[in-house]
Structure formats: structure tokens, C-alpha cells
Structure 1
Amino acid sequence: MSVMLNTVVTAFSIIEKMAEVGTPVGVSELARLLDVRKPLVFRHLRTLRELGYVAQDPTTEKYSLTPRLFHIGHAIADRIDFLSAARRVMPELAAAARLSVSVSRIEEQGVRVLDILEFRSTIEISTPPGSLFDFFTSAQGKVAMAFLPDLLATQIGSSATIHTAQGRDIDAATLREELAQVRTQGWAMSAQEVLTGVNALAAPIFDGTGVLTGTLAIIGSTQDLPSDPPAMLIEALVSASQKLSEQLGHRKGEAK
């Protein structure tokens, strides 16, 4: 085992032991419990403190874990719960639409695809889990800005023109009008704006507090998913997104 791996193992051993003890603990006690040298434990605790994972009481000089680890664990658990709920809805939507379906979460820099259920077709949809779509050209991003006013203000602000990563210029006023329509109708369309020959139709997913927590999307070729989508596809997508939102505790009409 390399020195780097040994360092990681020691750091996690310290964290796990502190969680097991459950009360503030000193360097000497941790070293004894872990059967490692005191200077080694001290160096790791100092690094963990600088990173915000442990705190030191200035009076007793003992260390305790901070809520930072809790927040990380909570974020992971939340994502797993979200995905579990999404995966119960996605097969039904894919079967009804006869198109690929993806679920995404909103991040600071864009909308991240968490999972995709591919429907066999002549065109392969190359948007694997982990893909990050921008806010301005993707259907998922438009949904995010339409239902998150603070995000809209941050991304557009007072700009008159938006320069996209794809080298396109978008009129901000026109985009605002489109986003207002997205919020009213409850879905967004992206016609070959991300991938040539591929269209996407996305709808919002809300959590139990009525806040947008993700997006559900149908993806297909321009032949299978026209830029003017049929009512049947829109209804199937919106119905599935509402069903998923309900599973997350949302009640219709509570969107913020």
C-alpha cells in the first residue's frame, strides 16, 4: 500500500473512531484507541480541522466532528432517495413515449444527468449519466431557470445578450419570454440546441417543500421528437414528473 493510501486510511480511521466515541476526544486518547503514533494523529487532526471536518475546543484542546460530514452524508442520501423515486417512474414514461428518458439535478454550473433509460432506436443518444448541460440551451436548464428565480437572476442578470459555450449569442429578453412561457405551461423544449439531430423535452420535479429539485426529460431524434411535440408526449412527461414530485412529498399547486 502506498504512502498516499496509508494517509487516506488513517484519516478515515480517525473520523470513524471519533464518530464511534461520540464525545470530544484528545490526541493521546485517539492515538491509543487507533494504536498509532501521537504525532501522526495530531497531523491528521490539524489537516481535518483546516478542512472543516473537525473542531477543537480551545479550553480542553479536545477534538470533535463538525456537521460538515453530516451535510455530505445527507446530500448523498438525498440523491439516492431522489434516484430511487425517479427509477420507479422512468420505465413507464419510456414505454409510453417510446423514447429515452433522463433524470437530472440542478448544480451551480448547470444541470447534471444522474441517470438515463435508453429506448432502442436508430439514433444513439450520447448523454450518459454525469453529463452537464448548460442553463441556456438545454431543455433541462430552461426548466431550472424558469422555476428558480434566483438562478435566473444570477445567470442572466442585466445582460442584454448571452454568450453560450457553443458560441451562440442569445437575446436575453427573448429568453426571458421563453422562460415565462415554460413556467406557465410546465415544460421546456430544446430543439437541436445541445446535440445536432436530437431534441429534448423536459419538465420540473418538485420536493416536499415545493422547491424545484430536478428535471425529467424525454430525448429523441428530430424525427421521433419534433420541435413541435405532440400533446400525447407532453401529457405523458408532465404526468410522470408530477407523479415523481408526489413521491417526493410535493402536492400540486405548491410550487414556489
Structure 2
Amino acid sequence: MQARQQGVDAAEVVGEILQGMLQTSRPVRLKDLEKQTGIASAKLHRYLVSMLRSGLVAKSADGSRYDFGLLAYRIGQLATHDPDELDLLEPFFKDFIDQLQDDDLGQAVGIGRWVGTGATMVKWFERDSPLSIRSNPGAQLGITTSATAKLLAAYLPAEVTKPLVLRELKERDCLTNANVKLVFNDYANIVSAGVANSIGARRTGLNALSTPLFDQSGKVVAAITILGMAPNFEAQLDGRAAELLMALGRQLSLKLGFSPLT
């Protein structure tokens, strides 16, 4: 086993604090940051004093909460001009779609992300086909019907997804307590299985499978989705296409630094 390289503990603690702020409603109170990071408040306070001086964090007007400072925003602005981490994985998606030679394994592979209050597809890779089956990038997907949106919603807190589920079921004229329960049971099964499917949700005969892509913190940063047309592509949760898709998800998650629990 390769020895772990020696680093600077203080830098790692700063990273934990910044990660905690990313995962908490901001501006954040010290006690909430303590709960999020597991770092004692006295230690947090000492680090925050230095982070205030460096510009990584800033205090709210009343001095009781913390938010990202000017230096953090400048770093973020610079990062937005650099390639997205998913862009660096693009060759793997292209190779994967090239491997799907049979229609029963799908005809297109897409990347979906949670943006704002919903899920959307941001990129597509498609086999040569006389029939385009892609959805338009930017179109919001139904979180009770779409494989991609269900997958992403399943890994979000219920307080985030429940209002959206209620609204969507109401729009579909099927809002009942039983249907709400079915949706969240479906989400639980998706997390357990690591894959979601949809059968003709967007268009009759168009089926989909979706699996998560995790980053180094264990957060789901995207959904990888296979689309295909029935009757060839049945989007079975225990089929060969699902097996290949989940293997791709695991492979690319590892490349993003994800370390699954053993």
C-alpha cells in the first residue's frame, strides 16, 4: 500500500469548512457549521478568524453568520472559465456509446444535472440512427416520470423534493397521498438499486435508464442516462444495459475521486 503523502492539516481543515459551507444554507451560523462539519465551535472560530483575514469568508452585517468572502468568489469566477469536470470525462462517454452496438443496449447516452429546482439534460452522445431520440438540452424533466430526474431527486433531501413532487402530481391531476407515497418509495428503491428507469415517460416507446455519478465528497453531481426505443430497448433494471451503465457510473465516479465505503 502506498504511504499517504504528508500534507498540512490546517489546509485540510479549511477545505472541510468550505465544503461545510457549500452544503449548508448561507449565511451560516457557527453552531450549524459545527453540526455540518463535526469540528468543535472553538476550533472553527479560530479558523474562521484567519479565513476572514484572507478573504475566504465574510461576516454578515450583524456579525452572527458567515458566508463566502471576496477571495472565494474570485476563485469561483476563475473556475467557471475552466473546463467543467464532466467535460474531462467526455472521451469515456464517447467510447461507451460506441460500445453499444445493439439496439437493445440503447441508442443515446446523456448527462443530466440538477439545476435550480429541477433536472435537465446538459449533453448527449448518440449513435448513428435515422431517428433522433434526444431531448432538448435545458428542458426541465418530470421528477415523478423521467428516469434522469427521478434518479437525481432520489438523492436529494425530501424537504427539497416534496414541494416539487406535490406540484407535479397536481399538474398531472393525480395528487393523492397514495401517489405521493409511491413516488418516495420509488426514490428509496432507486437509491437502494443505484439505477432508475422510465418507460415511455416522454414519448411512447422511448425508454430510459439512469445511474448516479458521485464526486469525491459522495455527492451526486450528475445522472448518466441511456435512451432507446422499444421494443428493442426495454430499460430493464436487471438487464445488460443497466449492468453496463452502472459499471460506467462506478468507473467515472472513481475518476472524480469518489471512494465508496467497503
TM-score, length of structure 2 as denominator length: 0.62
Counterpart position of 1:252: 260
- How many residue pairs get aligned? The number is 187
Counterpart position of 2:107: 99
CA distance in 2, matches of 1:73, 1:104: 24
Q: SS state of the match for residue 202, structure 1?
A: strand
Counterpart position of 1:73: 78
CA distance in 1, matches of 2:259, 2:145: 29
List 4+ stretches of structure 1 deviating above 4 A. none
CA distance in 2, matches of 1:73, 1:103: 24
Does the aligned pair in 2 maintain the 1:89–1:243 contact within 8 Å? no
Distance 1:126 1:231, change over 3 A: closer
How far 1:178 sits from its partner (Å)? 0.9
Q: CA-atom RMSD, angstroms?
A: 2.9
**Identity level (%):** 19
How far 1:130 sits from its partner (Å)? 3.0
For residues 134-145 of structure 1, the aligned pairs below 5 Å read: 134-145=142-153
Distance 1:166 1:232, change over 3 A: farther
Does the aligned pair in 1 maintain the 2:209–2:225 contact within 8 Å? yes
Does the aligned pair in 2 maintain the 1:203–1:238 contact within 8 Å? yes
Counterpart position of 1:204: 212
How far 1:199 sits from its partner (Å)? 1.0
How far 1:70 sits from its partner (Å)? 3.2
Q: Mind listing any 5+ residue stretches in structure 1 that lack a counterpart? A: 1-64
**Is 1:118 paired with 2:126?**
yes
Q: SS state of the match for residue 169, structure 1?
A: coil
How far 1:230 sits from its partner (Å)? 5.5
Q: SS state of the match for residue 145, structure 2?
A: coil
How far 1:165 sits from its partner (Å)? 8.4
Counterpart position of 1:169: 174
Larger Rg belongs to: 1
Instruction: Deviation per CA, 1:131-165: give whole Å up to 9, x if none.
Output: 332322211111112222x2x32221597x55348
Q: Mind listing any 5+ residue stretches in structure 2 that lack a counterpart? A: 1-69
Distance 1:189 1:123, change over 3 A: same
CA distance in 2, matches of 1:76, 1:106: 20
**Is 1:218 paired with 2:226?**
yes
TM-score, length of structure 1 as denominator length: 0.64
Counterpart position of 2:63: none
**Is 1:84 paired with 2:88?**
yes
Does the aligned pair in 2 maintain the 1:189–1:202 contact within 8 Å? yes
Further displaced range: 107-116 or 125-134: 125-134
Give the aligned residue type for 2:93.
M
